[in-house]
Structure 1
């Protein structure tokens, strides 16, 4: 469970969550070259999230947790310094673009060409994220599932 502040909003990963993720990175490194590459990507994503403003950390952390649960086959890595997730071919499927990096009003979840979201002749590829809620988590999981299908 993420840590809480006085307003009961999440402010990042707990020490136990960070330790679990670092432990998983060590397991991946032990699997060999492909595992080491995945572990290095995971560590880069965690480092990227740790450098964000607290409100961006909350969103990025929850996106990361949702992606990890929904699509464990995607490879975490950074893309232009942003947390991103790639398919087995190394193509970026989507990334988390934090508001603080671009002085934006909101963070976005941005899908790339490798995402399978095509729907006719026009479809959205970028979604604004202002707050995390169970409804947002459900929608992100649906989008990630569709993107990798």
Structure 2
């Protein structure tokens, strides 16, 4: 890992560490899921949020927000496909969560894998 990647990772870890519980533990778990299933994504801060990109100099693909609710979102830089079915031309790009159970963990992993595949 390059020193810039290490610095960016440290900034993401520090950002998560500033969050109040239980959001901090939940966001740390989501961060761990992302770096585990997509080790090619590089953590960095993007508009003040923990985010993940293909390199330190490319736009973020995945972001994590801690507002009134926790949020996993894909940026406009991801190739999004219409959902079809009842959602027609809508493209799923953000998911809110409060906790991460086993099913949520699996779904987050699927979403992140789809970003990098």
Bin the TM-score by the shorter chain. Answer: 0.7 to 0.9
The answer to whether residue 78 in structure 2 is matched with residue 115 in structure 1 is yes
Q: Could you tell me whether the CA contact under 8 Å between 1:117 and 1:146 is conserved in 2?
A: no
Equivalent residue of 1:54, what SS? coil
Structure-2 separation of matches of 1:107 and 1:126: 10
Structure-2 separation of matches of 1:134 and 1:63: 12
Which structure would you say has the larger Rg?
1
TM-score, normalised with respect to structure 1: 0.70
After superposition, the C-alpha distances for 1:79-100 in whole angstroms (9 at most, x for unaligned) are 122110012361110110013x
Where in structure 2 are there 5+ consecutive unaligned residues? 84-88
Equivalent residue of 1:46, what SS? helix
What is the aligned counterpart of 2:23 among 56, 61, 72? Answer: 56
Higher relative contact order (CA 8 A, sep 6+): 2
Matches within 5 A, 1:1-149: 28=1, 35-88=2-55, 90-99=58-67, 104=68, 106-119=69-82, 121-149=89-117
More helix per residue: 1
Root mean square deviation of aligned Cα = 1.4
Where in structure 1 are there 5+ consecutive unaligned residues? 1-27, 29-34
